[in-house]
Amino acid sequence: MTDFPKTSRPAEAALVNAGYTSLEQLTAVTESELAKLHGMGPKALRILREALAERGQGFASP
């Protein structure tokens, strides 16, 4: 079970397969690192970025 916002199945599978199960965990990884995951596209990254921003958080700095 994850708390990720609604993205595509490939994007969610990419996150889970990489060991991520919560939005909070994504604050420790850069956006470019996530972009390298198979199935993670620009739209999914935007959705995740916006969900983090709503919580006052963001991806790790490069």
d(CA 53, CA 36): 21
Domain boundaries, the chain: 9-54
What's the pLDDT at 2?
79
What's the pLDDT at 17?
97
Q: Select from 8, 54, 1, 51 the least CA-distant residue to 26.
A: 51
d(CA 28, CA 8): 22
pTM of the prediction?
Answer: 0.93
Work out the widest C-alpha separation in the chain, in whole angstroms: 28
For 30-47, the DSSP string reads: BHHHHHTSTT--HHHHHH
pLDDT, greater one: 1 or 61: 61
Tens-place pLDDT, residues 19-57: 999 999 999 999 999 999 999 999 999 999 999 999 999
